[in-house]
């Protein structure tokens, strides 16, 4: 399953990058993602899961990586279709701030699931991320679900997808607000470029959070890092779990930072 999914995701991302690079429509990206989800559905129907652990990993980690992109591009197109283009700056700002408040409310309403994912919890995985479990909530009728096929979805994999998509939507909305206020396409007067790996950035985020040296939630900290470096960390919860599972050198990058700083200090004292 993992090997098939990685190939599929790589293909989707390369095709989306091509579309974005050629300024084609968001509808084409949605079509690409719909096609990929259909391929994934067919694979699951044909091969199933070899264990409950594989099923949980699929609905908790893998499928949301595709579904979140579908939701994101669908919502961006929806926002653009409702955008009051010929209104005053005040009306435009009111529109974007309304969208931001709507997303913030979703985070608050689903704080339990957000914290469950951030903490790497597993004690409810069987109920959240296996098929055949029925959860009735008020929100179920008010949100876009990525898939209603009970053989290919759980209610909570759609919620995880929505949380991931909303994180990207917040970045998008803040960028649009900045453009309105500054009259420029730049995110900030000076863009910073991250030269390391995404895994290294995730290690920094979690070290800041563990040390409690920033007054922010893990989600807010990750959003700030992504915004500052104009980078998409993807499913950073999963990346953190991979770092944790290392037998050796779990803090390899942080150790390298310490060595680099000590070396600089020593050289300056010579």
How confident is the model over 215-246, as pLDDT tens digits?
A: 777 777 887 888 777 777 877 777 888 888 87
Give Cα separations from 164 to 128, 196, 220, 250 (angstroms).
Answer: 16, 23, 13, 25
**CB proximity list for 66: less than 8 A, separation 6 or greater:** 8, 9, 12, 33, 36, 37, 40
Mean pLDDT calculated for residue range 184-189: 42
- Are residue 133 and residue 202 in the same domain, yes or no? no
Which of 97-101, 168-172, 227-231, 257-261 has the least mean pLDDT? 227-231
| CA end-to-end span of the chain | 55
Q: How many structural domains is the chain composed of?
A: 2
- Are residue 202 and residue 177 in the same domain, yes or no? no
- Are residue 82 and residue 196 in the same domain, yes or no? no
Are 40 and 8 spatial neighbours (Cβ–Cβ below 8 Å)? Answer: yes
- Are residue 105 and residue 73 in the same domain, yes or no? yes
- Are residue 51 and residue 114 in the same domain, yes or no? yes
**pTM for the structure as a whole:** 0.64
Instruction: Please identify, among 148, 165, 186, the residue that sits at the C-terminal boundary of a domain.
Output: 186
Instruction: Please identify, among 164, 186, 208, the residue that sits at the C-terminal boundary of a domain.
Output: 186
- Are residue 26 and residue 53 in the same domain, yes or no? yes
- Are residue 213 and residue 254 in the same domain, yes or no? yes
Q: Alpha helices, DSSP H only, in the chain?
A: 2-21, 26-47, 52-57, 63-82, 89-109, 111-118, 125-128, 155-182, 198-211, 218-229, 236-244, 252-269
193-205 tens-digit pLDDT: 788 888 888 899 8
- Are residue 201 and residue 176 in the same domain, yes or no? no
- Are residue 55 and residue 165 in the same domain, yes or no? yes
Mean pLDDT calculated for residue range 90-115: 88
Are 125 and 60 spatial neighbours (Cβ–Cβ below 8 Å)? Answer: yes
What pLDDT sits at residue 119? Answer: 86
- Are residue 135 and residue 252 in the same domain, yes or no? no
- Are residue 200 and residue 179 in the same domain, yes or no? no
Instruction: Please identify, among 157, 186, 215, the residue that sits at the C-terminal boundary of a domain.
Output: 186
Domain extent for 45: 2-186
- Are residue 203 and residue 182 in the same domain, yes or no? no
């Amino acid at each position: 399953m993992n090997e098939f999914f990685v190939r599929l995701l790589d293909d989707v991302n390369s095709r989306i990058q091509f579309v974005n690079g050629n300024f084609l429509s968001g509808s084409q990206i949605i079509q690409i993602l719909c096609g990929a989800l259909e391929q994934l559905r067919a694979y699951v129907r044909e091969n199933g899961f070899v264990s409950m652990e594989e099923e949980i990993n699929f609905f908790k980690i893998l499928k949301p990586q595709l579904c979140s992109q579908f939701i994101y591009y669908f919502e961006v197109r929806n926002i653009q279709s409702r955008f009051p283009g010929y209104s005053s700056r005040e009306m435009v700002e009111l529109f974007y701030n309304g969208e931001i408040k709507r997303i913030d409310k979703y985070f608050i309403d689903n704080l339990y699931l957000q914290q469950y994912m951030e903490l790497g919890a597993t004690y409810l995985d069987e109920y959240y991320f296996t098929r055949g479990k029925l959860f009735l909530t008020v929100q179920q009728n008010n949100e876009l679900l990525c898939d209603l096929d009970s053989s290919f979805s759980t209610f909570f994999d759609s919620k995880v997808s929505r949380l991931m998509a909303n994180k990207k939507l917040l970045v998008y909305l803040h960028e649009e607000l900045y453009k309105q206020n500054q009259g420029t396409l730049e995110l900030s007067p000076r863009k910073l470029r991250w030269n390391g790996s995404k895994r290294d950035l995730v290690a920094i985020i979690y070290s800041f959070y563990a040390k409690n040296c920033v007054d922010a939630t893990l989600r807010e900290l990750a959003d700030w890092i992504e915004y500052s470096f104009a980078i998409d960390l993807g499913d950073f919860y999963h990346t953190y779990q991979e770092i944790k599972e290392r037998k050796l050198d779990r803090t390899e990058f942080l150790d390298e930072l310490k060595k680099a700083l000590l070396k600089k200090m020593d050289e300056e004292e010579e």
